[in-house]
Amino acid sequence: MGLEFTFARTTAGMEDSSFDILVLGIGNLLWADEGFGVRCAEALAAEYELPQRARVLDGGTQGLYLLPYVQAAKRLIVFDAIDYGLPPGTMRLVEKDEVPRFMGARKMSLHQTGFQEVITAAELSDCCPREMLLIGVQPVELEDYGGSLRPQVRARIPEAVGVAVERLRDWGCDVRSRGATVAAVLNAGALGMGAYESGRPPAETACRIGDARFL
């Protein structure tokens, strides 16, 4: 982790109000497969160069705080871990009007009811994206604090990113492959998947399980 790098990165997100397409990864990267959405956004930003009108955002678990970004977008793609009730690792797409309803329809992780609320609030303020695509994967494991994606879920990232790229191109976005992966475009270096995983303390010193009621 170098200082130059810290400085260089900071200008990346400054053109704040000029986008009308938003690609949002949501979830908590500290909770195993909950990090799927954020990791997809990270991979997209690392592998592709997007035009100014499209913004890739790590939404974390910000709930209502994501409203300003959603309000600014005419088109929205969301990556997330979703409890579809399907076999673990299954990827499924949900389109348009179904997105908020679907997201509120099942027992899901912390941030998702929050995100449903964001969509309805955007509707109430007459600033809701016209088009939405939810790219979700059924998680394998959520209760592994400090852990990372499980192999079946991780394996879905290229496919999920591919779907997003295709949709962005359908929307007239000039999405270009960078040719090589650029490190840590989206997030602080230490949270990048590689650094995050390699820096993890051993299980003996860092408890990884959660509340038995949620296991």
Partner 1 sequence: MGIYETQGFKLDNTGKRVVVDPICRIEGHLRVEVNLDGQNVIRNAVSTGTMWRGLEVILKGRDPRDAWAFTERICGVCTGTHALASVRAVEDALAIKIPENANSIRNIMQLNLQVHDHLVHFYHLHALDWVDVVSALKADPKQTSELAQSISIWPMSSPGYFRDLQNRLKKFVESGQLGPFMNGYWGNPAYKLPPEANLMAVAHYLEALGFQKEIVKIHTIFGGKNPHPNWLVGGVPCAINVHDTGAVGAINMERLNLVSSIVDRSLEFVEQVYIPDLLAIASFYKGWLYGGGLSSKSVLSYGDIPERANDYSAKNLLLPRGAIINGDLTRVHEVDLKDPEQIQEFVIHSWYKYPDEAKGLHPFDGVTEPNFALGKNVKGTKTNVKELDETAKYSWIKAPRWRGHAMEVGPLARYIIGYVQNNPEFKEPVDRVLKKLDVPLTALFSTLGRTAARGLECQWAAHKQKHFFDKLMGSLKAGDSATANVEKWEPANWPKEAKGAGFAEAPRGALGHWIRIKDARIDNYQCVVPTTWNGSPRDPKGQIGAFEASLMNTPVAKADEPLEILRTIHSFDPCLACSTHVMSPDGRKLAEVVVR
Binding site for partner 1 (CB under 8 A): 1, 3, 6-7, 9-17, 28-30, 57-68, 71-72, 104-108, 110-111, 113-114, 116-117, 120-121, 123-125, 127, 145-146, 187-191, 199-201, 205-207, 209-215
Nearer to partner 1, 9 or 131 (CB): 9
∠ Cα 32 56 7 (to 5°):
90
Q: Write down the least CB distance from residue 170 to partner 1, Å.
A: 27
Tell me the CB-side half-sphere exposure of residue 142, using CA atoms within 13 A.
20
Closer to partner 1 by CB, 48 or 196: give it: 196
Q: How far is the CB of 43 from partner 1 (least distance, A)?
A: 17
Nearer to partner 1, 63 or 136 (CB): 63
Measured distance between the N- and C-terminal CA atoms of the chain, rounded to whole angstroms: 35
Q: Please say whether the beta carbons of 185 and 44 come within 8 A.
A: no
Phi–psi pair at 147, nearest 5 degrees: -85, 180
In this complex, which beta carbon is closest to partner 1, that of residue 139 or of residue 163?
Answer: 139
Q: How far is the CB of 150 from partner 1 (least distance, A)?
A: 17
Q: At closest approach, how far in Å is the CB of 160 from partner 1?
A: 21
Beta partners for residue 79, in sequence order: 25, 135
Q: Are 81 and 109 in contact (CB under 8 A)?
A: yes
The residue among 131 and 143 lying less far from partner 1, judged by its C-beta, is 143
Quick one: tokens of 98?
């179904």
Alpha-carbon distance of 129 to 92, in angstroms, equals 20
Nearer to partner 1, 52 or 180 (CB): 52
Reading the block at residue 14, the tokens are: 């400054």
Among the listed residues 80, 75, 82, the one whose alpha carbon sits nearest the alpha carbon of residue 55: 75
Residue 52 CB neighbours (<10 A) = 9
Give me the least distance between CB of 207 and partner 1, in Å please.
Answer: 5
Shortest Cβ distance from residue 153 to partner 1 (Å)?
18
Burial 17-36 (b: 16+ CB within 10 A, else e): eebbbbbbbbbbbbbbbbbb
